[in-house]
Amino acid sequence: MPVPKIAPSMLSSDFANLAGEAKRMVEAGADYLHMDVMDGHFVPNLTLGAPIIKCLRKHTNAFLDCHLMVSNPEQWVDDYAKAGASMYTFHIEATANAAALIAKVRATGMKVGIAVKPKTAIESVFDYANDVDMILIMTVEPGFGGQAFMNDCLPKVRALRQKFPNLDIQVDGGLANDTIERATEAGANVIVAGTSIFSAPSPKDTIQHFRDCVLRNVTNK
């Protein structure tokens, strides 16, 4: 049965105080810390890489959910494993051999996820869903925080949930108080949120609200 996992996106944190921000989110109830890796090539933005994951790992035991928005995701697997990443989620659009990449990530001991961009058909991951720990359905075009939630991605969440009742299904982009209900109704149980959690008067209350929505609409449905 899919349980709630709330994953604040550290992209919205104060990068100059990453350790403190991680601690603050864990204390507010975060299950995962979502780490957005962008290479300026697969997406038109540049963020962080394995050296920063390695530094952060020294300050926290939290589950580091790494979202690799990079071309050639095969290239970085070992670096992230050595850095202490907990999960390595690559984009299906970025690889020519998803099965081999899944095996490569598994061999390191990290958990493995596959992400799909808004315009990518969900059928593209059906063949791999039983071999991964999570499927990430982007609900904005990857590259930037603070974008508007794309409703037209919801049918993909619904279709995936219908076919895989126990799968961890992550949504990422524009998740907030006004979109969490529909995302969870469609079947998402792993919730990434940057802007809405970091700008909330109480990140703890926002995380708890997201958790309650997953419990009501997915776990106990």
Using rule CB under 6 A, residue 5 touches ligand DX5: no
Q: How many residues does the chain have?
A: 221
Q: Residue 155 carries which side chain, given as an amino acid letter? A: P
Stretch that binds Zn ion, among 127-135, 148-156, 169-177, 195-203 (CB under 5 A): 169-177
What distance in Å separates the CA atoms of residue 75 and residue 84, rounded to the nearest whole number? 16
Stretch that binds ligand DX5, among 81-89, 138-146, 157-165, 213-221 (CB under 6 A): 138-146
Q: Of these, 4, 5, 6, 11, which contacts ligand DX5 (CB under 6 A)?
A: 11
- Residue 126's closest CA among 155, 94, 167? 167
Q: What is the 3-state secondary structure (H, E, C) of 91-159?
A: EHHHCCCHHHHHHHHHHHCCEEEEEECCCCCCHHHHCCHHHCCEEEEECCCCCCCCCCCCHHHHHHHHH
Indicate which residue of 31, 36, 133, 168 is catalytic: 36
Report, in Å, the least distance between residue 90 CB and Zn ion. Answer: 12
Catalytic residue check, 178: no
Q: Residue 49 touches which of ligand DX5, Zn ion, none (CB < 5 to 8 A by kind)? A: none
* Cβ atoms of residues 63 and 37 within 8 Å: no
**H or E stretch including 198?**
helix 195-198
Using rule CB under 6 A, residue 117 touches ligand DX5: no
Stretch that binds ligand DX5, among 49-57, 178-186, 190-198, 210-218 (CB under 6 A): 190-198
What distance in Å separates the CA atoms of residue 72 and residue 163, rounded to the nearest whole number? 29
Stretch that binds ligand DX5, among 24-32, 86-94, 171-179, 206-214 (CB under 6 A): 171-179
Catalytic residue check, 31: no
Encoded tokens for 125? 């991951």
Looking at the DSSP bridge assignments, the partners of residue 63 are: 32
Find the residue with minimal CB distance to Zn ion: 67
Using rule CB under 6 A, residue 168 touches ligand DX5: no
Given the structure tokens 């690559």, which residue do they identify? 90
Which residues, other chains included, contact 123 with Cβ-Cβ below 8 Å and sequence gap of 6+?
Answer: none
Using rule CB under 6 A, residue 174 touches ligand DX5: yes
Q: Of these, 64, 87, 172, 213, which contacts ligand DX5 (CB under 6 A)?
A: 172
Using rule CB under 6 A, residue 2 touches ligand DX5: no
Name the residues that contact ligand DX5, by CB under 6 A. Answer: 9, 11-12, 34, 36, 67, 140, 142-147, 172-175, 192-196
Name the residues that contact Zn ion, by CB under 5 A. Answer: 36, 67, 172
